[in-house]
Amino acid sequence: MKRVVVTGAAGFIGSHFTKHLLQSHSDVNIICIDSLTYAGNFDNLKGEIKDPRLIFYKADILNKREIFEIFSRENPDTVINFAAESHVDRSIKDPEIFMNTNVMGVQNLLEACRECPVERFHQISTDEVYGDLTLDSHGKLFSENSILAPSGVYSASKASADLLALSYCKTYGIPVTVSRGANTYGPNQYPEKLIPLMIYRAMKNKSLPLYGKGINVRDWISVKDHCRGIVAVAERGRSGEIYNIGCGCEIDNITLVKRILDILGKPYSLIEFVEDRKGHDLRYAMDSTKAQKEIGWKALDDFDETFEKTVKWYAENKNWSEKIFSGEYLKLYKTDYSEYVLSV
């Protein structure tokens, strides 16, 4: 990878990936694209934005003209697409924006790759496209050949994007890979997601709203391991193939939240069970054997150690979360970083 477009670069995983790529590839040049909606935060890249190997465009993947102009101007050899609406609760309230961004936005990127041929288009997907498993299905895992059975609009839009990207591979010969990642945790995650939200509320001694009985199980992977997996797939994965990126660390939500409270020294009495979410999947679990055998990737981080570091990061960086809840972060690209934002 020499000239890499990273869409959604100011988001949680996208920003960590950008940092990882700059650190691990000395000769890389990164073209960041982000529309800087509510989930895009320039603070996530404040340490990298001055790097001469990085340039940043404020652009929406739904704007075909802008995307074509950037591709024509920058001539990338690799595209890594993180750009997506991703919060399930928001998809229940406003499904249209999810279908637009997560499907039509991906089509615009693929069309740009037809116009300006690339060596690899990599689509970031999710384990949620497989639907869910029962809680008593011990040992049963989703493989890349499992039937797609998304339960909600978000996961359906991501499954649609996967199929669309793979169809462009077969029809137009665009070299496409897809990675389906497990639930990801780490610093800089927008605090509407379970882990940062619970940490923030616990620090404020506020109630921790937990859906249903907190029995839903997720496979958790550190953002560093996830980024390493994406690089491995983009560089060594076979075109037209899907790779699961999980670590087999299954934990139910109630246990996860109690761990947060234990690390912060807060009482379990802060937990408040609320009405369950519509279509709430019970269990996610993936088999990542294919990634291990074909591209030599496996998760390296110890969950207990990395999770504790994550909780402490939020506790030690309260100002990062405060900027989000105050809305101050939305102005940063105009006030603090305007000289680094390119127009199309």
Question: Active-site positions?
Answer: 127-128, 154
Q: Which of 192, 197, 201, 92 is nearest to 151 (CA)?
A: 92
Sign of the alpha-carbon torsion through 292, 295, 296, 300:
negative
Asked whether 95 and 139 are in contact (CB, 8 A), the reply is: no
The residue written with tokens 């950037």 in the block is 70
- Strand partners for 251: 218
Asked whether 238 and 31 are in contact (CB, 8 A), the reply is: no
3-class DSSP state for residue 269?
helix
**C-alpha span between 82 and 100 (Å, rounded):** 15
Q: Which of 130, 126, 155 is nearest to 141 (CA)?
A: 130
Alpha helices (H) along 48-184: 64-74, 88-93, 95-99, 105-115, 153-172
Helix or strand (DSSP H, E) at 241: strand 241-245
